[in-house]
A and B are shown apart, each in its own frame.
Chain A
Amino acid sequence: MNKQIAIEMKGVTKTFGSVIANKNVDLEVYRGEILAVLGENGCGKTTLMNMIAGIYYPDAGSIFIDGKEASIHSPADAFSYGIGMIHQHFKLVDLFTAAENIILGNHSGEKYNISKVSAEVRAIADRYGFHIDPDKKIYDMSVSEKQTVEIIKVLYRGADILILDEPSAVLTPQETDRLFDVLRKMREDGKSIIIITHKLHEVLSISDRVAVLRKGEHIGTVNTAETTAEALTEMMVGRKVELNIDRPAPENVQDRLIVKNLSMTNLDGIKVLDNISFTARSGEILGIAGIAGSGQRELLESIAGLNPLDCGEIVFNRPKKNLPVSFYHKSLADVKALAAEGKFHYEDGSAVDFTGKTNAEIRALVNAGKVLFNEDDVMNLRDKTPLQIREVGVRLSFVPEDRLGMGLVGNMDIVDNMMLRSYRKGSSVFVDRKKPSDLADRIVKELEVATPNTHTAVRRLSGGNVQKVLVGREIAAAPVVLMAAYPVRGLDINSSYTIYNLLTEQKKNGVAVVFVGEDLDVLLELCDRIMVICAGKITGIVDGRTVTKEEVGLLMTKTDSDVKKEA
């Protein structure tokens, strides 16, 4: 390997208020190598790279490029040093073609000549093995194609140090493999490539060296060939972490939520859910796998009553058999009518007959819990608002993808956020903060939420603690169905396991858990069944214990034409 140093960081420190993002980091990047920057979420990987790319400026320390001290104040400065960064969120103009996006903002004083640019783009693509059509509009492109445009944009501007922030987060396993081939070709061409990631298997398969960060500090850099996944994990988290997720066998499985032929069109007129049918069962975790944006969010929001549907049914099977009747959801008239239909029985199994009994007697019997249901309740939740779903007594908990924008109110404290679900209880016009306050104390204690106190605004908490507050509240509502969308996104390993354990605990309690995840390894270890969706369609429902990662990966990218070929 050519050992010429491209970038050297010496004593780089960056703080945000009282939070230290990076502390005294020394790091070297060589020419012609792929360096993986590895660390848990929130360990300062992205901040460190943003300082090289000119997004942030270090509070202390220096950066040397090719041995000379450099001051990188803006992305434009970074480009002048040949540094280009590909961010997680693409910055492309949808209405422009690939070539137009690539030339955008790149004023070299020459006359604008789009066909020349297209030819140059093709040349770069051929050189490294990209597949791209320079004249294709961005809005027609898949996520992987958009990423390709971002990479070529950086190469076109002459960057020879490329920083990729979690490049595989939005890609399927197959697309990731293709990307890695391209990166290897770039390395052979003498470019320096830095990839930020927290996926160990990718680090092992692509990088030459691995720099590990923990809590903003550089723990060490090792040669990939000389290390193992276990050793790297230990460096990342500071101690050995059990990688196995506990997965007890499902018990007492019953159909709980039956979704039939559900279709939905979003506000842009695009069909985001197409004929979705599946069953979520009690005592089981149903995983939903798919590339981000395949309709996972819309599916969960539809079940939660937030989206109007084109067609389909959401049938809820309420576990009521042998449970006492209450006046909480039924009026006396309802109870009498149902009794006349023979829907109830007494504790000893005999049929309930209210004929000849006064209303007071009936009330007394029901309130004493002596009248029991014969059968489970079946109801259609379609076109019910979240409030109506709750009013008919369906305890459906939902941990949405957007925690602070939907699940919680960022500016409110933990206590007031606890109240979101329960504040309506009781007939008083005043809110009762006593119970939410107790609940907040309990969640902070049991889930080890790091917070000064329960009157701290949740937006001040770190991502993992925000998620603990949200999941804790949703579980405290004693759900019958628990849906969680990307509940561990952005969380460190320890917080992630806390969440996995909470979900598994709910499953053991007989809750039907629906888990939308992005990390296939986790889905394969956590879920009993995995439903794969691609572009709003179900491409398969598989057994989580026997399926392989490649099989799920293939289902995630299965297109209409594939399905037709099989048929």
Chain B
Amino acid sequence: MKENAKKFELPFHVVKRSTIPVWKSMLFRVIAVVAALLLCSILSLLMIDANPFKFIVTMFDGAFGSSRRIWKFAKDACVLLCIALAITPAFKMRFWNIGAEGQTLIGALAAVAVVIHGKGLPNWLLLVLMFLAAILVGAVWGGIPAVFKAIWGTNETLFTLMMNYVATGLVSYYLLLWTPSGSSVLGRLDQGHLPILGHEYLLLILLVLLLTAAVYVYQKYTKQGYEISVVGESENTANYIGINVKKVIIRTMLISGAICGFAGFLIVGALDHSVAVTSVGGMGFTAIMVSWLAKFNPLIMIGTSAFITFLDQGAAQVTSTFNVDSAFPDMVVGIVLFFIIGCEFFIHYQLKFKTREEAAIPAPIKSEKSESEGGNA
């Protein structure tokens, strides 16, 4: 037993950093992105025979190549940002709301329902009703798991996830109801369109940017925002200073759901003018990444949502230009995110290499490994 007892030892220690200057942490992130794009270029060279330089140019071309693409990029980033803004207060409270997908979808469904049942109403009234219905239904969808969590301590992750499926099911049901042909595909609604301000996406972008500022101020400068931080950091402290934790949980999730509902309203009123089970298209989950990468800071989220949208559209362009399988963009996004998240390790920890003298001291023969093996024998 003793021969194989020699332990494998890493030539370095992992040491937690106490502080890191901001420029250094930013530098690490930039290095991570550059390294990820390099790796993607190499992969593209090997797998799809594309010149790495051309690969990167195509990425940028896909996102910013024409004014139409820039508008599309800005619009997509804003919708993603809107949903990310919705989940951020909940996440800040350590309430893992992974039900933004369903909350947004149900908001969109409510907006469409208003248009379908409100035929003949003036457009402005329809829009007001759509807006109210969407945020109300979204708030209810977010509020239900919050009430269960606050009163009976249910697990919010599972609950919000399950609510997504209920929302999808409801959309399927109403689509069947609303399409007499049985096609389940709702055509473009001709009413309830948001007014066009210069460009068809401009109003949406402005509204989302306004919302960003509002959520930023709410989290940082209001009493409710402060309560969210305290509940998220330590429920014990919240109880100790007399914050009603249950109330804060429910209130925050109502807000979170309502903003999701607002995103659903924007999707119906400004973009799709319709609803389908794929209307949100996984953005409810991508938004978690946006929020998390920005450490729940709404201003930084403008950057992270733009970045993720850039990856998406750039990689989609690569797919069509080089005529490769649609799994390729997913791979690119995966690699880049892996590098970015991986670099967080180096921001929080550093490696200290052992000096030669330390490594030279022999470890005692008897080790934990040999002991446990002895026990099994």
Interface string of B341-377 (1 = CB under 8 A from A): 0000000000000000000011111111001101101
| B241 at the A interface (CB under 8 A) | yes
Q: Which residues does chain B contribute within 8 Å of A398, judged by CB atoms?
A: 240
Contact status B239-A420, CB under 8 Å:
no
Which of the segments B78-86, B227-235, B286-294 contacts the partner chain?
B227-235
| A44 at the B interface (CB under 8 A) | no
| B18 at the A interface (CB under 8 A) | yes
With A107-B372, A423-B223 as contacts: A412 and B229 at CB distance below 8 Å: yes
Q: Which residues does chain B contribute within 8 Å of A71, judged by CB atoms?
A: 361-364
Q: Which residues does chain B contribute within 8 Å of A69, judged by CB atoms?
A: 361
Interface string of B212-248 (1 = CB under 8 A from A): 0000000001111110011001101101111110000
Contact status A411-B233, CB under 8 Å:
yes
With A70-B364, A71-B363, A108-B374 as contacts: A406 and B16 at CB distance below 8 Å: no
The residue on B at minimum CB distance from A460 is: B18
Q: Which residues does chain A contribute within 8 Å of B241, judged by CB atoms?
A: 386, 420-421
Which of the segments A74-82, A329-337, A354-362 contacts the partner chain?
A74-82
What CA separation (Å) do A222 and B244 show in the bound complex? 56
What is the CB-to-nearest-CB distance from A499 to chain B, in angstroms, rounded to a whole number? Answer: 19
What CA separation (Å) do A74 and B225 show in the bound complex? 45
Q: Using a CB-CB cutoff of 8 Å, which residues 428-442 of chain A contact chain B?
A: 428-431
What CA separation (Å) do A411 and B230 show in the bound complex? 10
Contact status B367-A386, CB under 8 Å:
no
What CA separation (Å) do A77 and B370 show in the bound complex? 11
Q: Which residues does chain B contribute within 8 Å of A77, judged by CB atoms?
A: 363-364, 366-367
Q: Which residues does chain A contribute within 8 Å of B364, judged by CB atoms?
A: 70-72, 77, 80-81
With A17-B17, A76-B368, A76-B371 as contacts: A406 and B222 at CB distance below 8 Å: no
What is the CB-to-nearest-CB distance from B363 to chain A, in angstroms, rounded to a whole number? Answer: 5
With A406-B234, A409-B229 as contacts: A387 and B244 at CB distance below 8 Å: yes
Contact status B18-A431, CB under 8 Å:
no
| A178 at the B interface (CB under 8 A) | no
What is the CB-to-nearest-CB distance from B197 to chain A, in angstroms, rounded to a whole number? Answer: 30
What CA separation (Å) do A298 and B145 show in the bound complex? 32
| B15 at the A interface (CB under 8 A) | yes
| A419 at the B interface (CB under 8 A) | yes
Contact status A431-B240, CB under 8 Å:
no
What is the CB-to-nearest-CB distance from B144 to chain A, in angstroms, rounded to a whole number? Answer: 26
Q: Which residues does chain A contribute within 8 Å of B371, judged by CB atoms?
A: 76, 107
Contact status A73-B233, CB under 8 Å:
no
What CA separation (Å) do A107 and B225 show in the bound complex? 54
Contact status A424-B223, CB under 8 Å:
yes
Contact status A407-B367, CB under 8 Å:
no
The residue on B at minimum CB distance from A387 is: B242
Contact status A74-B368, CB under 8 Å:
yes
Q: Which residues does chain A contribute within 8 Å of B366, judged by CB atoms?
A: 76-77, 80
What CA separation (Å) do A429 and B375 show in the bound complex? 64
| A109 at the B interface (CB under 8 A) | yes
Cβ contact of A402, chosen from B225, B236, B372, cutoff 8 A: B236
Contact status B239-A306, CB under 8 Å:
yes
| A304 at the B interface (CB under 8 A) | yes
Contact status B18-A17, CB under 8 Å:
yes
| A390 at the B interface (CB under 8 A) | yes
Cβ contact of B375, chosen from A109, A388, A431, cutoff 8 A: A109
With A76-B368, A420-B230, A430-B223 as contacts: A406 and B240 at CB distance below 8 Å: yes
Cβ contact of A304, chosen from B224, B240, B243, cutoff 8 A: B240
Interface string of A28-53 (1 = CB under 8 A from B): 00000000000000000000000000
Interface string of A90-123 (1 = CB under 8 A from B): 0000000000000000011100000000000000
What is the CB-to-nearest-CB distance from B213 to chain A, in angstroms, rounded to a whole number? Answer: 14
What is the CB-to-nearest-CB distance from B21 to chain A, in angstroms, rounded to a whole number? Answer: 13
Contact status A409-B234, CB under 8 Å:
yes
Of B9, B371, B374, the most chain A CB neighbours within 10 A belong to B371
| A84 at the B interface (CB under 8 A) | no
Contact status B239-A408, CB under 8 Å:
no
Cβ contact of A423, chosen from B226, B239, B244, B361, cutoff 8 A: B226
Q: Using a CB-CB cutoff of 8 Å, which residues 1-48 of chain B contact chain A?
A: 7, 9, 13, 15-19
Contact status B363-A412, CB under 8 Å:
no
With A76-B367, A420-B230 as contacts: A408 and B222 at CB distance below 8 Å: no
What is the CB-to-nearest-CB distance from A16 to chain B, in angstroms, rounded to a whole number? Answer: 8
What is the CB-to-nearest-CB distance from A475 to chain B, in angstroms, rounded to a whole number? Answer: 16
| A510 at the B interface (CB under 8 A) | no
Q: Which residues does chain A contribute within 8 Å of B9, judged by CB atoms?
A: 73
The residue on B at minimum CB distance from A72 is: B364
What CA separation (Å) do A407 and B367 show in the bound complex? 43
Q: Which residues does chain A contribute within 8 Å of B223, judged by CB atoms?
A: 423-424, 428-431
What is the CB-to-nearest-CB distance from B244 to chain A, in angstroms, rounded to a whole number? Answer: 7
Interface string of B187-231 (1 = CB under 8 A from A): 000000000000000000000000000000000011111100110
What is the CB-to-nearest-CB distance from A341 to chain B, in angstroms, rounded to a whole number? Answer: 30
The residue on A at minimum CB distance from B365 is: A80
Of B236, B242, B377, the most chain A CB neighbours within 10 A belong to B242
Contact status B18-A18, CB under 8 Å:
yes
What CA separation (Å) do A416 and B239 show in the bound complex? 17
| A283 at the B interface (CB under 8 A) | no
Contact status A431-B226, CB under 8 Å:
yes
| A312 at the B interface (CB under 8 A) | no
With A80-B366, A429-B223 as contacts: A386 and B242 at CB distance below 8 Å: yes
What CA separation (Å) do A82 and B223 show in the bound complex? 58
The residue on A at minimum CB distance from B363 is: A71
What CA separation (Å) do A81 and B225 show in the bound complex? 55
Q: Which residues does chain B contribute within 8 Å of A108, judged by CB atoms?
A: 374
Contact status B233-A409, CB under 8 Å:
yes
Q: Which residues does chain A contribute within 8 Å of B7, judged by CB atoms?
A: 73
Q: Which residues does chain A contribute within 8 Å of B361, judged by CB atoms?
A: 62, 69-71
Of B15, B223, B241, the most chain A CB neighbours within 10 A belong to B241
Q: Which residues does chain A contribute within 8 Å of B362, judged by CB atoms?
A: 71
Contact status A405-B239, CB under 8 Å:
no
What CA separation (Å) do A70 and B233 show in the bound complex? 43
Q: Which residues does chain B contribute within 8 Å of A73, judged by CB atoms?
A: 7, 9, 363
| A385 at the B interface (CB under 8 A) | yes
Q: Which residues does chain B contribute within 8 Å of A386, judged by CB atoms?
A: 239-242
Q: Which residues does chain B contribute within 8 Å of A429, judged by CB atoms?
A: 222-224
Contact status B222-A407, CB under 8 Å:
no
| A287 at the B interface (CB under 8 A) | no
| A540 at the B interface (CB under 8 A) | no
Contact status A408-B226, CB under 8 Å:
no
With A71-B362, A429-B223, A431-B223 as contacts: A407 and B240 at CB distance below 8 Å: yes
What CA separation (Å) do A108 and B313 show in the bound complex? 62
Q: Using a CB-CB cutoff of 8 Å, which residues 237-288 of chain B contact chain A?
A: 237, 239-244
Q: Which residues does chain A contribute within 8 Å of B13, judged by CB atoms?
A: 57
| A400 at the B interface (CB under 8 A) | yes
Contact status A107-B17, CB under 8 Å:
no
With A107-B372, A109-B374 as contacts: A306 and B240 at CB distance below 8 Å: yes
| A129 at the B interface (CB under 8 A) | no
The residue on A at minimum CB distance from B366 is: A80
The residue on B at minimum CB distance from A433 is: B221
| A308 at the B interface (CB under 8 A) | no
| A410 at the B interface (CB under 8 A) | yes
What CA separation (Å) do A57 and B241 show in the bound complex? 41
What is the CB-to-nearest-CB distance from A511 to chain B, in angstroms, rounded to a whole number? Answer: 19
What CA separation (Å) do A113 and B311 show in the bound complex? 63
What is the CB-to-nearest-CB distance from B335 to chain A, in angstroms, rounded to a whole number? Answer: 31
What is the CB-to-nearest-CB distance from B276 to chain A, in angstroms, rounded to a whole number? Answer: 39
With A70-B364, A430-B222 as contacts: A420 and B237 at CB distance below 8 Å: yes
Q: Which residues does chain B contribute within 8 Å of A81, judged by CB atoms?
A: 364
The residue on B at minimum CB distance from A425 is: B223
What is the CB-to-nearest-CB distance from A122 to chain B, in angstroms, rounded to a whole number? Answer: 24
Q: Can you list 19 A-B pairs, Cβ within 8 angstroms, ordered by A? A: A18-B18, A19-B18, A73-B363, A76-B367, A76-B368, A77-B364, A77-B366, A107-B372, A107-B374, A109-B375, A306-B240, A386-B239, A387-B242, A398-B240, A405-B234, A410-B234, A429-B224, A431-B221, A460-B18
Q: Which 3 A-B pairs have the closest CB atoms?
A: A107-B375, A387-B242, A17-B18
